[in-house]
């Protein structure tokens, strides 16, 4: 299986971390390629960043289709551009928030999301409702630091995130914790062992779900909402994105 993992922001160090997390769980016969756009926001922390990341994301999906990818993972916990990507891709497209929530309800009755960028909390709360998991979600909790602080060992972000997980485990009493940012993917196993409950990384969950769909020979339905967009003219620089 050829699986393309797309970080929709432009920060290569985050893409490298995401790629390592994906490779750690992928089956031996799965070929993982991780990419990010060259244009767009350096991090995605809410609606505004998400809007400007979609054109670059679509470029990467199109490149993956040309290369023969059998599946795509969108490695942003806002599930940025997921519907648009599914509309143009002929292979399955998995968002890491949706994947993490699906996995969480398979292993417990409740979950809390921890480490979410503050601007993304409303986005993720909307995703909880969209995916039908409001009865299972104990809360979506904002991180006290920007996403890129995780790449700076001097920022204290890792220490703050650990304290947040500890507090949410005590206060929410969830059956599992979901890490609310792809940049935290490398911390799931450590926190799971430390706090004694499943800690879910959406990147890993999405990789395994993509492999499952490939194994079942299933792809996104093109019957209605995700049918290929009709041909039309796109003006100016957006002519590049014409169907």
Read off φ and ψ for residue 111, nearest 5 degrees. -150, 160
Is residue 133 within 8 A of residue 207, CB to CB? The reply is: no
The predicted model scores a pTM of 0.92
Cα–Cα dist 65/47, whole Å? 27
Q: Is 112 helix (H, G, I), strand (E, B) or coil?
A: strand
Mean pLDDT of 100-109: 97
Q: Contact at 8 Å (CB) between 209 and 78?
A: no
Share of the chain above pLDDT 70, in %: 96
Dig out the tokens for 186 from the structure.
Answer: 């490398």
Q: How deeply is 181 buried, as exposed, middle or buried, from its count of CB atoms within 10 A (0-12, 13-18, 19+)?
A: buried
Rounded to whole angstroms, how far apart are CA atoms 219 and 231?
22
Residues in the chain: 243
Look at the block and give the residue holding tokens 């795509």: 72
pLDDT tens-digit profile of 118-137? 888 999 999 999 999 999 99
Mean pLDDT, the chain, as a whole number?
Answer: 92
Confidence of residue 241 (pLDDT cuts 50, 70, 90): low
Report whether 78 contacts 50 (CB < 8 A): yes
Tokens of 189: 């196993």
- What confidence score (pLDDT) does residue 125 get? 96
Burial 150-174 (b: 16+ CB within 10 A, else e): beeeeeebbebbbebbeebbeebeb
Q: Does residue 166 contact residue 112 with C-beta atoms inside 8 Å?
A: no
**What's the pLDDT tens digit per position in 1-43?**
999 999 999 999 999 999 999 999 999 999 999 999 999 999 9
């Amino acid at each position: 299986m050829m699986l393309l993992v797309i970080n929709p922001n432009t920060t290569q160090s985050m893409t490298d971390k995401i790629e390592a997390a994906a490779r750690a769980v992928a089956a031996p016969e799965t070929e993982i390629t991780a990419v990010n756009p060259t244009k767009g926001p350096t991090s995605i922390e809410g609606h505004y960043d998400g809007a400007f990341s979609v054109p670059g994301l679509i470029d990467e999906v199109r490149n993956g289709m040309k290369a023969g990818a059998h599946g795509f993972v969108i490695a942003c916990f806002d599930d940025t551009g997921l519907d648009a990507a599914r509309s143009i891709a002929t292979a399955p497209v998995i968002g890491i928030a949706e994947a993490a929530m699906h996995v969480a309800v398979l292993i417990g009755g409740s979950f809390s999301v921890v480490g979410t960028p503050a601007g993304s909390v409303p986005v993720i709360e909307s995703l909880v409702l969209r995916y039908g998991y409001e009865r299972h979600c104990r809360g979506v909790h904002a991180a006290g630091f920007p996403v890129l602080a995780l790449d700076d060992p001097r920022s204290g972000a890792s220490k703050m995130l650990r304290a947040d997980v500890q507090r949410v485990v005590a206060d929410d009493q969830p059956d599992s914790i979901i890490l609310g940012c792809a940049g935290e993917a490398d911390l799931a196993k450590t926190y799971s062992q430390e706090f004694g409950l499943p800690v879910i990384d959406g990147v890993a969950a999405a990789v395994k779900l993509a492999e499952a769909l490939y194994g079942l020979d299933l792809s996104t339905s093109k019957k209605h909402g995700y049918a290929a967009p009709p041909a039309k003219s796109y003006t100016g620089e957006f002519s590049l994105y014409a169907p």
